Structure 1
Amino acid sequence: MTALTVRTLGEDDWQIYRDVRLSALEESPEAFAASSSAEKQLDESAWRRRMARARRILATDENGDKVGVVSLRSDVRDDEESPYGELFGLWVTPDARGTGVAVALLEAVLEQARKESLGAVIYWVGTDNARGVAFASSRGFLPTEHRRPMNPNSSDTESEEEAAFVYPLGADETSIPSDVLDARH
């Protein structure tokens, strides 16, 4: 593995996030519910709102090249004993895949989740994404029976599904409200 720097982006880093996000959408369009053409239309205020809704964690290599990104959104409800987080948007550049970038990003997400005293982290993975399923399982995420359409906005009635994996941080799957696991945010 090459030397990596992993850091959480701030709201003023919206352009960095935008550029990496657009690269991800262009390189791996099948992995995301969004499209690069739609997201290219977003203005600065929309990107800043996105930055405020979730932590965006960026990995760069020793040359300063952006090699991966992931997001963590917390969902804290007043009636919950144990709030949870959702890991999403994990992407690693093709050249950096298999080098430990995804593991470093995941570890940063889990560290952030612990700092926020989250009880669990949910990670939705495409059921046909063998590499993603193996990665989640090998890193301690527990599979659940919860499924949802990968792209709920698609007119394709045979849309691919994604499955919820849960990483317990003091909570288990039963402490996460079922409406969270059954609905798309």
Structure 2
Amino acid sequence: MNDFNIKLLTPNDWALYKSVRLESLLDSPDSFGSTYEQESALSDADWQSRLDLKARGLDAMPLVAQRGGRAVGLAWGVIHAPDVATAHIYQMWVLPAVRGEGIAKALLHEMTAWALGRKCDQIALAVTTSNAAAVRLYQSSGFIAIDQPTPLRNGSVLMVQPMALNLHSVVESTI
């Protein structure tokens, strides 16, 4: 049942973004390159600036999933110039109480549609290898492992596996 909605974050949503991002870092500290300690030290102006995509010259799609007015999921899509053929997914997270309810798949669907609309060839991400549920989600969505795992952060024993989704296969499977 889709009793959630997905919203594109704007600069006016900086407080919502700050809240869900910090919650994600507290809940899943081994899933992100950044840490709660690093990001909780940011000023409100820093949070506002992150969502001011035009001022930053950034082609990005920051999304939040909400249920009953509460943020229950987060994902960022970013296309880094000059490699405009690849869209990247960062900050993917779903509140533990609602995992398995299709929110992550809905966020991935929105990212895929966005990347296709930008004429990207692929979507890339990195997933912590010990997060079996996330690895299964990405594999079931068509992502395949590329390259070798690398440390999550400098000095970390946790590894992340780079993965990619070939968007040409997505288009062909819908024809």
TM-score by length of 2: 0.85
2:135 counterpart of 1:133: yes
1:107 alignment partner in structure 2:
109
Structure 2 SS opposite 1:128: coil
1:175 alignment partner in structure 2:
none
Contact 1:56 1:71 in 2 (8 A): yes
Structure 2 SS opposite 1:91: strand
Partner Cα separation in structure 2 for residue 160 and residue 42 of structure 1? 25
Partner Cα separation in structure 2 for residue 140 and residue 160 of structure 1? 24
Contact 2:31 2:127 in 1 (8 A): no
Structure 2 SS opposite 1:29: coil
2:170 counterpart of 1:165: no
1:10 alignment partner in structure 2:
10
When structure 1 is superposed on structure 2, of 109-118 and 46-55 the one drifting more is 46-55
Structure 2 SS opposite 1:117: coil
Structure 2 SS opposite 1:33: coil
Match for 2:33: what amino acid? A
Displacement of 1:96 in angstroms is 0.5
**Aligned-pair identity (%):** 26
TM-score by length of 1: 0.81
1:70 to 67, 75, 78: 75
Match for 1:13: what amino acid? D
Partner Cα separation in structure 2 for residue 95 and residue 164 of structure 1? 27
| Residue correspondence of structure 1 range 30-179 to structure 2 within 5 A | 30-51=30-51, 52=53, 53=58, 54-61=60-67, 63-77=68-82, 83-152=85-154, 154=155, 156=156, 159-170=157-168
Partner Cα separation in structure 2 for residue 67 and residue 164 of structure 1? 25
Displacement of 1:84 in angstroms is 0.7
Contact 2:30 2:128 in 1 (8 A): no
Question: Number of residues paired by the alignment?
Answer: 163
Query: What runs of 5+ residues in structure 1 fail to find an aligned partner?
Result: 172-185
Contact 1:68 1:93 in 2 (8 A): yes
Displacement of 1:93 in angstroms is 0.6
When structure 1 is superposed on structure 2, of 50-59 and 15-24 the one drifting more is 50-59
Match for 2:79: what amino acid? S
Partner Cα separation in structure 2 for residue 25 and residue 88 of structure 1? 13
Displacement of 1:160 in angstroms is 1.6
Query: What runs of 5+ residues in structure 2 fail to find an aligned partner?
Result: 170-175
Displacement of 1:72 in angstroms is 0.7
